[in-house]
Structure 1
Amino acid sequence: MDKRVRRFDLELLNTLAAVADAGSLSAAAARLYRSQSAVSEQIRKLEESCGLALFVRGKKGASLTPAGARLLEHARRLLDLNDRAYRDMQGLSLAGDLRLAITDYFRPADIAAVLKRLGDQYPSLRLHVSIRKSALIERDAGSGTGDFDLGLSMRVMDPELRWQNANAVGFSSVVFRREPLVWIAAPSFARPTGQSLPLVALPDTCSLQRYMLARLDQAGVDYFIAHSASGVAGLQSALSAGLGVSCLNASAAPPDVVPVNAACRLPKMPDVEFSLVVQKSADGTLADEVARLLAALS
């Protein structure tokens, strides 16, 4: 029997990480620019190499087995080490201060872990992170008055809203993630018959909340604000507690809520896109490399 240690294929480990992060083979395929069958084949090869099942497939996607979770920890370290080695050979070493402005709709449950990985890969890089509204990120970047180097903003992909950003100048942006807006509530929530729809919302200074209310008005849905939260974290808590219905991008939805579109006859919502906004006055090499890394980690 051959006792030699086999070497893992980094491409297969990258696919493992993509499926784990995306939650399904189809979503991972879109991120990796591969077909779903190709991603499935790569996972099959990796499972065959390990001799263990790494994912449990179901109607809601793919979840890691205990063996898959263990391998994922190794995979992330190996992939990070590979990236460091490549950057070293290319003479890329990030150091200094970088100011990030981030919308709190972007992966609120794990943005801290993403930023920690960024810091781990670049120990000489000092990050200064602030949470801001997307409209302010793009406005300040476009006017050149922003006190940040790199912004992460979200836009609702409704053609009627495009005019708001049509004249934006002074910065460049790269779209790196797209996901749906979904109406959600706690599984126990039931709309009272013949009564107004209780909404969980953010203040009207939030453009997504204004858009949500406008769509409800257009659809003739009778509603009232049952709970007003100050931020996305408070909105998530109120939804999980069953205080009402709201609309969030998919990656910001708490894990213990369910879609309610059909049950409450709510209007269909468009997708949102996340973009990395780089001010022209920023250090181009530094900002571009961090933008690339943030996109890869997403």
Structure 2
Amino acid sequence: MLAPQMIDTDLIRTFLAIHDTGSFSAAAKTVLRTPSAVSMQVKRLEEQLGRCLFERLPREVRLTGDGEAFLAYAEEIMRVSEAALARFAGTPMEGEVHLGAPGDMGAHALPIILKRFATTHPGVHVRVTLDTSARIIEASKAGDLDVALNTVCAIEGGPGRVVYEEALAWAGKRGGRAWKADPVPLALAQEGCIWRRKALKSLGRAGKTSRIAYVSESGQALLAAVEADLAVSPLPVANFTPEMERLGPEQGFEEIGRYQLRMIEQEEPGCCAAALAEHVVESFRTRVDGPAIAAE
């Protein structure tokens, strides 16, 4: 007798993310994968079920009739799976861990990571500090943070081990006009941000004049400025929304380069800090625009 096929819960998680967000690109951020990886997961799930689950429209995707029928099963499968993990995964752990991260992570990857960690370690309380990478590094050196995430230039490197690496690119409103202005209006983080420094150098190499129109440590504020066609901004490729387009040589913009997300841990981390650090590494392992990187 042939063994029955089993549906990978990662495929189901992606299916639910697409349903919740209404697009493949938005779902990619939720599940910490690239849009192409999400498309491949959907293809695998549809092939396994032998049914088309999504109707692809110009600006959104919708569930087909079969997709609606599968939705109830998918939600129940994930509920049972997460409940089982929370009950039996590892030795029950209790305590508190202090995590520091760059401010822009508060609007993207961090909420998803913390939600997953809370599911598997419900007895561990995570206290989060969002700040610039420079201040996060200083707080880690002072022993104020158990786990500290910071962004650095991929070429220059920095403290901690690499958990993620990605390209930065110029983001403009799709079909917008802000990028055509002279000087070009920019939406940037505050002084000390490596994205800001690399972006301004890129503009200088391209011979473009610019003015800083918006300054904010909030990633959501920078995205809003771009989507409103009020400015262009240097952003990680994975953070682009469907409302944005990547500006390149055809528009007179040079490549900005790559950045790394690094993680600093205390020399003798407690079990809670060690568990969170490993959770962060696993969460970012497949979220790259290319082959997955291994943590150093």
Matched, 1:43 2:12: no
Give the direction of change, closer, same or farther, for the CA distance of 1:16–1:55 in structure 2 (3 Å limit): farther
Q: Secondary structure at the match of 1:105?
A: helix
Q: 1:146 aligns with which of 143, 148, 152?
A: 143
Counterpart in 1 of 2:20?
A: none
Counterpart in 2 of 1:231?
A: 218
Q: Secondary structure at the match of 1:200?
A: strand
In 2, Cα distance between the equivalents of 1:78 and 1:275? 34
Q: Is the 8 A contact 1:137 1:146 kept in 2?
A: no
Q: Secondary structure at the match of 1:205?
A: coil
Counterpart in 1 of 2:85?
A: 83
Counterpart in 2 of 1:288?
A: 274
Alignment of 1:52-91 (within 5 A): 52-55=51-54, 65=63, 67=68, 73-84=75-86, 87-88=89-90
What is the percent sequence identity of the aligned residues?
18
Give the direction of change, closer, same or farther, for the CA distance of 1:260–1:286 in structure 2 (3 Å limit): same
For normalisation by structure 1, the TM-score amounts to 0.72
In 1, Cα distance between the equivalents of 2:72 and 2:167? 30
Alignment of 1:1-298 (within 5 A): 9=6, 12-17=8-13, 20=27, 21-22=31-32, 26-27=36-37, 42-48=44-50, 52-55=51-54, 65=63, 67=68, 73-84=75-86, 87-88=89-90, 92-106=91-105, 108-109=107-108, 111-141=110-140, 143=141, 145-157=142-154, 159=155, 161-162=156-157, 165=158, 168=159, 173-175=161-163, 177-191=164-178, 195-283=182-270, 285-298=271-284
Q: Secondary structure at the match of 1:242?
A: coil
The Cα shift of 1:248 comes to: 0.7
In 1, Cα distance between the equivalents of 2:72 and 2:194? 40
In 2, Cα distance between the equivalents of 1:182 and 1:75? 38
Q: Is the 8 A contact 1:108 1:252 kept in 2?
A: no
Q: Is the 8 A contact 1:191 1:264 kept in 2?
A: no
Q: Is the 8 A contact 1:200 1:244 kept in 2?
A: yes
The Cα shift of 1:266 comes to: 0.7
In 2, Cα distance between the equivalents of 1:259 and 1:233? 18
In 2, Cα distance between the equivalents of 1:272 and 1:182? 11
For normalisation by structure 2, the TM-score amounts to 0.73
The number of equivalent residue pairs is 264
Q: Secondary structure at the match of 1:215?
A: helix
Counterpart in 1 of 2:22?
A: none
- Give the residue type in structure 2 aligned to 1:173: R
Give the direction of change, closer, same or farther, for the CA distance of 1:41–1:199 in structure 2 (3 Å limit): closer
- Give the residue type in structure 1 aligned to 2:45: I
- Give the residue type in structure 2 aligned to 1:215: S
Q: Is the 8 A contact 1:106 1:251 kept in 2?
A: no
| RMSD of aligned residue pairs (Cα, Å) | 3.5
Runs of 5+ consecutive residues of structure 1 not aligned to the other structure:
1-5, 30-35
